[in-house]
A = this chain, B = another copy of it.
Amino acid sequence: MNPSESAQIGQDIYALIKTLYPICRSITGDGVRNTLSILQQQFPLNIREVASGTQVFDWVVPKEWNIRDAYIKNKRGERVVDFQQHNLHVVSYSLPVHKTLPLAEVKPHIYSLPQQPEWIPYKTTYYNENWGFCMAHNEFAELIDEEYEVCIDSTLADGSLTYGEWLIQGDTDEEVVLFSHLCHPSLCNDNLSGIAVVIFLAKYLQQRTNRYSYRVIFAPGTIGSITWLSENQNHLDRIKHGLVIALVGDRGAFTYKKSRRGDTEIDRVANHVLRAHSASASIVDFTPYGYDERQFCSPGINLPVGRLTRTPNGCYPEYHTSADDLDFVTPQSLAESLALCLQIIDVLEWNRRFLNTNPMCEPQLGKRGLYRNTGGANIEQREFALLWALNLSDGENSVLDIAERSGIAFDVIHAAACDLERCGLLKFLP
């Protein structure tokens, strides 16, 4: 991608986020369906509906939640909290309620952030039947002691959980999973950024030939990945690598969280690409807390699935508040995240093993036009790459192994290996 293509794609990703931002998503309901419909305009997706009550491992698909309106009105009939203004104002999965109550009885149902008094927090009550509102602490503090009309016009009823999925068929049936959670309401970085970057990544992969098949999944966090894993438990052996992609729109440095195993190929590839990308990138160990990597890396599943974010969950003050808005993510960061994902995928695609067909001493590169003809004191990086590729292509080492041992970029080693393969000095190992 050249700079102007990159600028354009950043704008396109950002535009998609802008379209999706107003929708009130949750782990089920029409917000999820509307979001997936909009994504389908960009990229083919199969939409799956899984009925409430379905057993998925230790969990049960919950009732479906939908909401039309919610507010708190003061005595003068003014909405002091208004779902129409911001969908974070209602605690997700709140039961319907319509009552007039004194302030003292409303207060236990209101969440605010005294430390960040202008931001609305994001709260959920998926598995505990309750209702609640969220509001800026400044406004909360101004509520006077009177009666308030509280109304949440929601429904919680049998229905289904909705997710979207598509397989980009590659040369082989070996799959790379790209997973992004889509259960959050109006929060841009978490996780419209992940959804939009994965859509554009998928569009790009769809239009070219790939060695691996790529399975993109957009599903609600936790219950969505559990549902998907439960439904696909007999086919998990197809998954060779995976990435959970989330929180990739902010201005922070990249963070790759390793899979539970910690030494898988995706872990090594992501480490190589992030280290080459920037000294400020972080590689962190697996922990069983975070996003859907928790499920892919549960002990009975234990797939080689890592997670790519910029600043991780909980590590920026705007996290899970109304300040995670359209200003918090930038077209530039989004384009850069897309490019980094592609680099990781390209290294995965090209990380193969070669075999030196002439392993006894070095072959004579000069007669094959691969080497300078006049000996002296200098040697070029390209020649080093040729020598490394020959020396380590003993059937044990992949291109990434050679890149890491030599300290030469993956691309340079890969190009050298391809040149040597064309000369017959290396051959691909399947």
Residues on A facing B (Cβ under 8 Å) = 56-59, 91-92, 111, 121-128, 130, 132, 222, 225-226, 229-230, 233, 260, 287-289, 294-295, 297-302, 314, 319-320, 356, 358-364, 366-367, 373-379, 384, 387-388, 390-394, 406
Given contact pairs A127-B366, A388-B288, A393 touches B299 in the complex (Cβ within 8 A): yes
Q: List 9 A-B contacts (CB under 8 A).
A: A122-B376, A222-B362, A226-B361, A229-B360, A289-B384, A289-B387, A294-B387, A299-B394, A320-B377
For chain A, what secondary structure do more than half of its interface residues adopt (helix, strand, loop), or is it mixed? loop
Closest Cβ–Cβ distance, residue A317 to chain B (whole Å): 10
Q: Contact between B362 and A295 (Cβ–Cβ < 8 Å)? A: yes
Q: Contact between A128 and B387 (Cβ–Cβ < 8 Å)? A: no
Interface centre among A126, A127, A225 (most CB of B within 10 A): A127
Which of B229, B230, B319, B360 has a CB less than 8 Å from the CB of A57? B360
Q: Contact between B288 and A374 (Cβ–Cβ < 8 Å)? A: no
Closest Cβ neighbor of A132 among chain B residues:
B374
Q: Contact between B361 and A295 (Cβ–Cβ < 8 Å)? A: yes
Which of B56, B222, B287, B390 has a CB less than 8 Å from the CB of A288? B390
Q: Contact between B320 and A391 (Cβ–Cβ < 8 Å)? A: no
Given contact pairs A288-B387, A361-B230, A126 touches B295 in the complex (Cβ within 8 A): no
Q: Contact between B127 and A364 (Cβ–Cβ < 8 Å)? A: yes
Q: Contact between A362 and B128 (Cβ–Cβ < 8 Å)? A: no
Measured between alpha carbons, how far is A366 from B222 in the docked complex, in Å?
Answer: 13
Closest Cβ–Cβ distance, residue A8 to chain B (whole Å): 35
Measured between alpha carbons, how far is A92 from B287 in the docked complex, in Å?
Answer: 59
Closest Cβ neighbor of A389 among chain B residues:
B288
Q: Contact between B300 and A374 (Cβ–Cβ < 8 Å)? A: no
Measured between alpha carbons, how far is A222 from B289 in the docked complex, in Å?
Answer: 52
Closest Cβ neighbor of A286 among chain B residues:
B391
Closest Cβ–Cβ distance, residue A356 to chain B (whole Å): 5
Given contact pairs A58-B364, A391-B297, A375 touches B288 in the complex (Cβ within 8 A): no
